Amino acid sequence: MHLAYFTEQPMSAYPEEEGRKAGHTALMFSNRFYDRDAASQLYQDRITEYKLVEEVGFDGIMLNEHHNAPFCMQSKCNIFASILAAITERVKIVLLGNPLPLTENPVRLAEELAMIDLVSQGRLVSGFVRGGGTEQLAIGVNPAYNRERFEEAHDLIIKTWTEPGPWRWEGTHYQNRVVNPWALPLQRPHPRVWIPGIASRETVVWAARHRYPYVCLNTSVEDTLRVWKLYAQIAEEVGFQPGPEHRGYLLRVHCADTEEKALANARQFTWMQGEFTGLAHPVWSAPAGYNPAKQRQVLVEIAHGRRVARRDVGFEQQIENLRIIAGTPDRVVEQLRVIMEATRPGIFMIWGNDGFVTHEDSMRCIELLGREVLPAVREIAAELDLKDPFEVGAPVSEAAAQQQPSALRA
Amino acid sequence: MAVTEALPEAPEQFVEVVGEKIHWLQSGSGDSLIVLHHEIGNPGWLPFYEQLAQRFTVTVPDFPGWGQSERPLWMRSVRDLAVELNLLFDQAGVEETVLVGLGFGGWVAAEMATMNQSRCKRLVLVGATGVQPPEGEILDQFLYAHMDYVKMGFHDNDNFRRVYGEEPATEQLMDWDVHREMTARIAWKPYLFSQTLPYLLPGLTTPTLIVWGADDRIVPRSCGERYRDALPNSRLEVIEGAGHFVEMEKPDELSRLVLDFAGA
């Protein structure tokens, strides 16, 4: 089992009352409230924490990016990936991921990722995402072509990594007349691609068609199982048997020395007026054309207050139904077993600290997770036979599987 | 659709151009007058059209991708749209016409006129987008719920209610979303204006009437002034008590201006 650590890297120094006054904390919440001095210190704290993450035995560090909001300080995940490439030695650098449609030049992105893989000596896992609706507005990218750009950018990046140049790309959204970068990833045929999501059907299908692991981002157990079912259906069409190595799960888990402290800190997972990703007008989250046409009715109804968006229930209930796990190491292990048995992932992302959790408490949480929780989780994983893509040597993609001798194709 | 006040019906027709189905409404008699709709789409046969139809044969096409016209997946710019509409009216045998463009449709009309002056006898631009405002900005509809945005285009909320009702049906909201998506597909960046059109306007000698709602909160009046300054044979009129959707708020005043200008 691959066990990675994750934090959104919150800009916890933002003035909460200003967010309440503005009525939103995403996209249009003014960056005049951005505290530069605190931000610089917060980055230092994250670097110290990431070093400890490696030291205490995690297999990977998951990074992501968001824009125009205090809930995530990473506006370019490749920056922290580059830092980790240099300051860590062993952990995988798991990007979940680069929002492809936001890039105007996927070849540049392919170069950056190749450099990260080279500097880290082959430790990159290069996930790709579409980016949220607000992200399109924050970067000024046309939401109506989001999925087309995602798929074309992906195809161009994989080709850049795998087909010797120079060659020419004349696509719909991207045109590059001389593709021949002198930066290629160390891993062959290319770094692993994992696709995270919150269960958008189109993305699950796309991931399964490519044989990429799909990482459910903090979805309920029921939704997660629905994703696995859909993934398995598509895998069958493609011609492979999916296993734990194709299934990733991200879960909020906070560990502390006492139950009280763990619960108090875990409450921070619901910071920012109760909605982690900040308050945004629903029309910003679902700009016209960003979502499939069949969702149009539901989305315009939500945008006009005629339907309530499906939201997470309250903190207590999330603790109750294991959407958030908090406690001392023993208690956490006990609960993780339930989740592992129910969802059977080979890739487990532990979202450890967020909101206003202090640096000291974050360090302690990482320490406890690494030294006490992870060894027990590895035992459970062995017992449940939950292996990750590295352990089973899974082909990095369906295309790569087709290149292998038939005896090796599963 | 979803127009609440009783409107006269206008015969509708589907025509095909470049392999795509285009829907239009047509009524009246006399010389040709074509109305090009806003980016929110055409809500139906409006009193403004009916008044013009007393003197003209009025044609109101749904743009490709809007209303009941088929979506052109290939289309990437407002100039593409203008070319397709010119082809449509070539095919329809319209040799001379008055072109009336409303808001976004004003941009389309100006593009069409620069391409084919001989067809466009008279040009009317009402709250037209298409040029970058020297002062202010064109309102970004992507930051507002559809209904809020449309309401901002009215000076008086009663006028919104008269046309769309107190609570427009979900179907209307979905139509607005489809039209918003098409707007994104062809006019995302720069948003609702062209960087090159201003350089072509001085070559357009067609007599042009520019009309602005005094309370247009969507397209700054400075756009109207820029059109007036760039077009050699033009004048700018401002209608009080109107927002961006002048034809829905002040149909009598607007039709009188248009008829005086083009109907003699």
Q: Do A303 and B146 contact (CB within 8 A), yes or no?
A: yes
Domain-located, residue A233: yes
Neighbours of B161 (CB within 10 A): 16
Predicted pLDDT at A24? 87
At position B59, the amino acid (one-letter code) is: T
Question: Could you give the percent of chain B with pLDDT greater than 70?
Answer: 97
User: Quick one: pLDDT at residue A121?
Assistant: 98
Domain containing residue B49: 12-262
CB contact under 8 A, B170 and A296: no
Q: Cβ separation of B185 and A306 shorter than 8 Å?
A: no
Bigger pLDDT: A131 vs A271: A131
C-alpha span between A157 and A147 (Å, rounded): 15
Closest CA to A273 of A15, A9, A94: A15
| Nearest chain B CA: its distance from A83 CA (Å) | 34
- pLDDT at residue number B104: 98
> In angstroms, what separates the C-alpha of A279 from chain B's closest C-alpha?
14
**Which CATH number goes with the domain that contains B238?**
3.40.50.1820
Interface residue ranges in chain A relative to chain B, Cβ cutoff 8 Å = 28, 137, 140, 142-145, 281-284, 287-289, 296-297, 299-301, 303-304, 306
**Which of residues A410 and A36 earns the better pLDDT score?**
A36
Chain B residue numbers with beta carbons less than 8 Å from the beta carbon of A140 are: 189
Instruction: Assess whether pLDDT exceeds 80 at residue A310.
Output: no
What's the whole-number mean pLDDT along residues A254-263?
A: 98
Task: Identify the pLDDT of residue A48.
Answer: 98
**Beta strands A2-6 and A347-351: pairing type?**
parallel
Residue A132 Cα, gap to closest chain B Cα (Å): 14
Query: CB of A233 within 8 A of CB of A340?
Result: no
Confidence band for A275, pLDDT divided at 50, 70 and 90? low
Output the average pLDDT for chain A.
94
Q: How many domains does chain A have?
A: 1
Residue of B nearest to A26 (CA): B143
Among A284, A288, A300, the residue with its CB nearest the CB of B143 is A284
For A288, name the nearest residue in chain B, comparing CA atoms only.
B181
Asked whether the beta carbons of residue A300 and residue B180 sit closer than 8 angstroms, the reply is no
Shortest Cα–Cα distance, A397 to chain B (Å): 30
Q: Contact B70/B78 with Cβ under 8 angstroms? A: no
Q: Which of A145, A289, A301 sits opposite B170 (nearest CB)?
A: A301
What chain B residue is nearest to A28 in terms of C-alpha separation? B143
Report, as an integer, the average pLDDT of A142-151.
98
Tell me if A297 and B174 make a contact (CB, 8 A cut-off): yes
Task: Chain B: give the shortest CA distance to residue A283, in Å.
Answer: 6
**pLDDT tens-digit map of B173-213:** 999 999 999 999 999 999 999 999 999 999 999 999 999 99
Number of CB pairs < 8 Å for A and B?
A: 60
ipTM score of the complex?
0.95
| pLDDT value at residue B168 | 97
The beta-carbon neighbor of B177 closest among A28, A281, A288 is A288
Of A142, A299, A301, the CB nearest to B184: A142
Three-state SS for B177? Answer: helix
* Pairwise CA distance, residues A80 & A292, whole Å: 32
Kindly report, residue by residue over A5-52, the tens digit of the pLDDT: 999 999 988 888 888 888 888 899 999 999 999 999 999 999 999 999
Instruction: Give the residue from B47, B201, B63, B33 showing the smallest Cα distance to B130.
Output: B201
Q: Note down the domain range covering A260.
A: 2-73+194-408
Mark B219-228 as b/e (b = at least 16 C-beta within 10 Å). Answer: bbbbbbbbbb
Q: Residues near A44 by Cβ (< 8 Å), separated by ≥ 6?
A: none
CATH, residue A226:
3.20.20
**Alpha helix stretches (DSSP H) within A321-373:** 329-343, 359-368
d(CA B107, CA A8): 44
Would A38 be classed as within a structural domain?
A: yes
pLDDT of residue A277: 58
Count of the separate structural domains present in chain B: 1
**Model pLDDT, residue A270:** 86
pLDDT (tens digit, 9 = 90+) per residue, A372-389?
999 999 999 999 999 999
pLDDT in tens, A64-96: 999 999 999 999 999 999 999 999 999 999 999
* pLDDT single digits (tens) A170-218: 999 999 999 999 999 999 999 999 999 987 899 999 999 999 999 999 9
Would you tell me which residues 107-166 of chain B have a C-beta closer than 8 angstroms to some C-beta of chain A? 142-147
Residue of B nearest to A294 (CA): B174
pLDDT tens digits, one per residue of B49-73: 999 999 999 999 999 999 999 999 9
Nearest chain B Cα to A136, which residue?
Answer: B142
Residue A323 vs residues A48, A309, B230: alpha-carbon distances, Å: 28, 18, 61
Task: Please say if the pLDDT value at position A313 is more than 50.
Answer: yes
| Residue A225 is assigned to a structural domain of this protein | yes
Asked whether the beta carbons of residue B184 and residue A296 sit closer than 8 angstroms, the reply is no
Is the bond preceding residue A375 a cis peptide, omega within 30 degrees? no
Question: Is residue B180 within 8 angstroms of chain A, CB to CB?
Answer: yes
Mean pLDDT of A249-268: 97
pLDDT band at B227 (very low <50, low <70, confident <90, very high): very high
Average pLDDT over residues A355-367: 96
B177 touches chain A (CB under 8 A): yes
Task: Tell me whether residue A128 is in a domain.
Answer: no
B5-53 pLDDT, tens digit each? 556 678 999 999 999 999 999 999 999 999 999 999 999 999 999 999 9
Report the amino acid identity of residue A68: N
Q: Which of A142, A289, A303 sits opposite B189 (nearest CB)?
A: A142
Residue A282 inside a domain? The answer is yes
Q: Do B177 and A145 touch (CB under 8 A)?
A: no
Q: Do the domain assignments include residue B7?
A: no
Closest-approach residue (CA) in chain B for A284: B143
Phi/psi of residue B236, each to 5°?
-115, 130
How far is the alpha carbon of A141 from chain B, nearest alpha carbon, in Å? 8
3-state SS, residue B23 = strand
User: Mind listing the pLDDT tens digit for each residue in A385-406?
Assistant: 999 999 999 999 999 999 876 6
**Is residue B264 less than 8 Å (CB to CB) from chain A?**
no
Residue of B142, B146, B185 with shortest CB distance to A300: B146
Q: Taking CB atoms and an 8 Å cutoff, what residues of chain A touch B176?
A: 300
Q: Across the interface, do A283 and B142 touch by the CB < 8 Å criterion?
A: yes
Check CB contact under 8 Å for B189 and A137. no
Concatenated DSSP letters for A244-310? GGGEEEEEEEEE-SSHHHHHHHHGGGGTTTT-TT----HHHHS-TTSS-GGGHHHHHHHHTTSSPPP
Task: Please list the alpha-helical segments (H only) found in B118-156.
Answer: 146-152
- Asked if B2 has any chain A CB less than 8 Å from its own CB, the reply is no
Contact B142 A296 (CB under 8 A): no
The answer as to whether B3 is a domain residue is: no
Coil, strand, or helix at residue B9? coil
State pLDDT tens for residues A329-352. Answer: 999 999 999 999 999 999 999 999
In degrees and rounded to multiples of 5, residue A5 shows phi and psi of: -105, 145
Across the interface, whether the CB atoms of A300 and B143 are under 8 A apart is answered no
Best B188, B191, B192 member to test A by mutation, with max A CBs in 10 Å, is B188
Dihedral, CA of residue B106, residue B111, residue B112 and residue B118, to nearest 10:
110
Structural domain contains residue A346: yes
CA distance A8 to chain B (A): 25
- Given this model, what pLDDT does residue B9 score? 78
Question: B184 and A287: CB-CB below 8 Å?
Answer: yes
> Which residue of chain B comes nearest to A282, CA vs CA?
B145
Q: Is A249 or A313 the better-scoring residue by pLDDT?
A: A249
